[in-house]
């Protein structure tokens, strides 16, 4: 069989329905073969970086491997997205075409050492040197991406390979690796028994869930062990959705991005911390201060990656899939006598209630004015509980993570807080749209700094007829930089500093309208609520521009910024 057809036949065997890419001359032979595979939809984007972000969010939303494709000339543009997927353990297959390898030393246009480029930011990078190698490498890529610690795999296909022939007997798929985890394993029984003894003896245990809980689909097991052990549970920002955030034991998001003081303090007060599928990174632990590795607390860590076990905390390692290991741990804890933890569990309600009182006071004080807190709470009230959120770094991330409560656990959101590169939410919402059911709303929470990176993908959402609501947090600046400068220096931002951070005034509504989106500007909360309800009824993409203050003028609730005492006590809602 012709190599181009063999590629599509193998992808068909993995039940691939969506591929995100941008065309190039080195891939033309593959596109010609696509005519006979209408069941595999090619979604053309405007930037190769966006194609990877689309595939990333598709994987997060669907639990299936995300597939992106790009030509040799655009392979360097894919690096930011692949790096994010690698750092956050998202299974992708990144396919790039290339010039014929025999011209590699002759300075042929668009050629570069793609293997060297991708090797350090993927689980593996394969070059197809002969057509007959291709089926084996594709199967290996799917297994590698979905098994063990998931992540992206790169496949490099020189353009002359597309015209070759592949033995028919080699063209088959291994469909179990189309989803992740491809294979599951539980931690060793002796380690589980030791962990169960520690948990049963603890008086103040807490559980911190990372994105591995979502990847593993372990939200039911998390809730079961929390309830049976009266164990408060929180998540990292990338794992938002791993727990129902209205649960009596839910701390919500913890750490530096989306964490609140009362939840973070409970982690510091705990005598045992159970990490589940968490890389224990700086964002989720506030720079390894919440909890402190030297605190004397008992640490237990469930993870499918041998590199993450004990990496930042001297933890008892439970080496295995989150769901399978939690099941075994629940069984091991049956019948074990535990201390009375009623008062410990009650602190969750007390902390949340006191914090909520403060939030409601601020919302009332703001009235109908736009405040990021009021904004995300209005979104929470209006959208159904099956909504999927794609979120940019910055204000949109911190306020939605901390204050927008997701009452239904599952694959609910896509944040990119492993690298935190700008330009994520617009393409991520497009990828998520194909990864969730048609009747699930998809909302992109977009920063105006990110908007400049990927505004062209709004046209993609129109061209593909996608039902997405984009909400722009518009403060006309790289506001996080202004906020950080304000906190670090303790001074107001002077006008001269705007050369580093501020944008000219842009009519984003007209811009979005020119690309075909139904677009609005909301300057009051009441206007925003009405507009959002209208947009949710539309069958195509909509855009809402919402003006907000820069971070230096309205400090978001970040632990380090709260500790600086720059903000007035009644303004800092950390």
Enter the pTM of the model: 0.96
**Residue 571: is its pLDDT beyond 80?**
no
511, with CB counted inside 10 A (0-12, 13-18, 19+), is middle
Q: For 468-480, how does the pLDDT look when each residue is reduced to its tens digit (9 = 90+)?
A: 999 999 999 999 9
**Residue 124: is its pLDDT beyond 80?**
yes
Kindly state the tokens that stand for 254: 């913890």
Say if residues 458 and 512 touch (Cβ distance below 8 Å).
yes
DSSP β-bridge partners for residue 542: 469, 518
Give the mean pLDDT of the chain: 96
Query: What pLDDT does 471 receive?
Result: 98
> In which residue are the tokens 């405040």 written?
371
Sheet architecture: strand order including 153-158: 41-44, 18-21, 66-70, 92-98, 153-158, 124-127
Determine the Cα–Cα distance for residues 460 and 548; give it in Å rounded to an integer: 27
Which of the two residues, 108 and 537, has the higher pLDDT score?
Answer: 537
pLDDT category at 567 given cuts 50, 70, 90 is confident
pLDDT category at 74 given cuts 50, 70, 90 is very high
Q: What is the 3-state secondary structure (H, E, C) of 182-209?
A: CCCCCCCHHHHHHHHHHHHHCCCEEEEE
Crossing angle of helices 134-146/3-13, nearest 10°? 30
Query: What pLDDT does 487 receive?
Result: 94
pLDDT category at 12 given cuts 50, 70, 90 is very high
User: In the chain, how many H helices and how many E strands?
Assistant: 22, 18
Q: For 244-263, how does the pLDDT look when each residue is reduced to its tens digit (9 = 90+)?
A: 999 999 999 999 999 999 99
pLDDT category at 566 given cuts 50, 70, 90 is confident
Determine the Cα–Cα distance for residues 359 and 365; give it in Å rounded to an integer: 10
Mean pLDDT on 535-540 = 97
- CATH numbers and ranges of domains, the chain: 3-178 (3.40.50.970), 189-345 (3.40.50.1220), 367-563 (3.40.50.970)
pLDDT category at 32 given cuts 50, 70, 90 is very high
Say if residues 444 and 425 touch (Cβ distance below 8 Å).
yes
Determine the Cα–Cα distance for residues 565 and 574; give it in Å rounded to an integer: 12
Mean pLDDT on 52-75 = 97
Determine the Cα–Cα distance for residues 195 and 186; give it in Å rounded to an integer: 13
Determine the Cα–Cα distance for residues 276 and 498; give it in Å rounded to an integer: 42
- First-to-last C-alpha distance (Å) of the chain: 61
Cα–Cα distances in angstroms (integers) from residue 572 to residues 279, 298, 566, in the given order: 29, 32, 9
Count of CB atoms situated within 10 Å of the CB of 386: 13
Query: What pLDDT does 63 receive?
Result: 97
> In which residue are the tokens 């978001």 written?
556
Mean pLDDT on 504-533 = 98
Determine the Cα–Cα distance for residues 403 and 573; give it in Å rounded to an integer: 10
**Residue 107: is its pLDDT beyond 90?**
no
**Residue 138: is its pLDDT beyond 90?**
yes
Alpha carbon dihedral 66, 70, 74, 76, in 10-degree steps, equals: 40
Determine the Cα–Cα distance for residues 329 and 327; give it in Å rounded to an integer: 5
Q: For 207-245, how does the pLDDT look when each residue is reduced to its tens digit (9 = 90+)?
A: 999 999 999 999 999 999 999 999 999 999 999 999 999
Q: Coil, helix or strand for 292?
A: coil
Query: What pLDDT does 220 receive?
Result: 97
pLDDT category at 569 given cuts 50, 70, 90 is confident
pLDDT above 70 covers a percentage of the chain that reads 100
Mean pLDDT on 450-465 = 97
Q: For 149-186, how does the pLDDT look when each residue is reduced to its tens digit (9 = 90+)?
A: 999 999 999 999 999 999 999 999 999 999 999 999 99
pLDDT above 90 covers a percentage of the chain that reads 96
């Amino acid at each position: 069989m012709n190599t181009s057809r063999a590629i599509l036949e193998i992808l068909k065997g993995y039940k691939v329905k969506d591929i995100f890419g941008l065309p190039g001359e080195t891939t033309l032979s593959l596109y010609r073969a696509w005519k006979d595979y209408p069941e595999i939809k090619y979604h053309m984007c405007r930037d190769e970086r966006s194609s990877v972000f689309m595939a990333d969010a598709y994987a997060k939303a669907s639990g299936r491997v995300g597939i992106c494709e790009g030509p040799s000339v655009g392979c360097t543009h894919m690096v930011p997205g692949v790096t994010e997927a690698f750092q956050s353990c998202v299974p992708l297959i990144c396919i790039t075409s290339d010039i014929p390898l025999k011209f590699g030393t002759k300075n042929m246009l668009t050629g570069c050492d793609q293997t060297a480029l991708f090797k350090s930011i993927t689980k593996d990078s394969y070059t197809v040197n002969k057509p007959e190698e291709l089926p084996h490498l594709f199967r290996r890529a799917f297994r590698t991406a979905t098994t063990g610690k998931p992540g992206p795999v790169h496949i490099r296909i020189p353009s002359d390979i597309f015209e070759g022939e592949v033995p028919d007997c080699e063209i088959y798929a291994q469909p179990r690796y189309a989803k992740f985890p491809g294979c599951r394993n539980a931690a060793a029984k002796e380690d589980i028994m030791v962990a169960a003894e520690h948990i049963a003896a603890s008086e103040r245990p807490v559980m911190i869930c990372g994105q591995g809980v979502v990847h593993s689909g372990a939200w039911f097991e998390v809730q079961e062990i929390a309830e049976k052990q009266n164990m408060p549970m929180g998540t990292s920002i990338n794992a938002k959705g791993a727990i129902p955030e209205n649960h009596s034991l839910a701390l919500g998001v913890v750490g530096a991005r989306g964490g609140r003081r009362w939840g973070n303090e409970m982690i510091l007060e705990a005598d045992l911390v159970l990490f589940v599928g968490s890389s224990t990174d700086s964002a989720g632990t506030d720079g390894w201060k919440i909890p402190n590795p030297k605190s004397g607390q008992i640490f237990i860590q469930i993870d499918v990656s041998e590199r993450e076990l004990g990496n930042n905390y001297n933890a008892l390692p439970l080496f295995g899939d989150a769901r399978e290991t939690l099941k075994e741990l629940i069984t091991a804890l049956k019948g074990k006598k535990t201390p009375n933890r009623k008062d410990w569990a009650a602190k969750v309600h007390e902390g949340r209630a006191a914090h909520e009182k403060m939030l409601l006071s601020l919302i009332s004080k703001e009235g109908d004015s736009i405040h990021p807190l009021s904004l995300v709470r209005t979104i929470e009230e209006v959208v159904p509980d099956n909504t999927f959120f794609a979120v940019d770094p910055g204000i949109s991330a911190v306020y939605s993570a901390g204050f927008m409560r997701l009452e239904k656990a599952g694959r609910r959101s896509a944040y990119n807080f492993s690298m935190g590169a700008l330009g994520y939410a617009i393409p991520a919402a497009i990828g998520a749209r194909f990864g969730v059911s048609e009747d699930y709303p998809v909302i992109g929470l977009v920063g105006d700094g990110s908007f400049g990176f990927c505004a062209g993908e709004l046209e993609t959402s129109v061209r593909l007829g996608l039902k997405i609501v984009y909400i722009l947090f518009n403060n006309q600046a790289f506001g996080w930089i202004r906020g950080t400068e304000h906190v670090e220096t303790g001074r107001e931002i002077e006008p001269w500093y705007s050369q580093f951070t501020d944008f000219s005034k842009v009519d984003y509504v007209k811009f979005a309208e020119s690309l075909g989106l139904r677009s609005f500007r909301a300057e009051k909360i009441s206007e925003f609520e009405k507009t959002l309800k209208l947009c949710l009824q539309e069958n195509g993409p909509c855009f809402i521009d919402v003006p907000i203050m820069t971070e230096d003028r309205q400090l978001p609730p970040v632990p380090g910024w709260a500790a600086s005492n720059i903000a007035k006590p009644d303004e800092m809602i950390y």
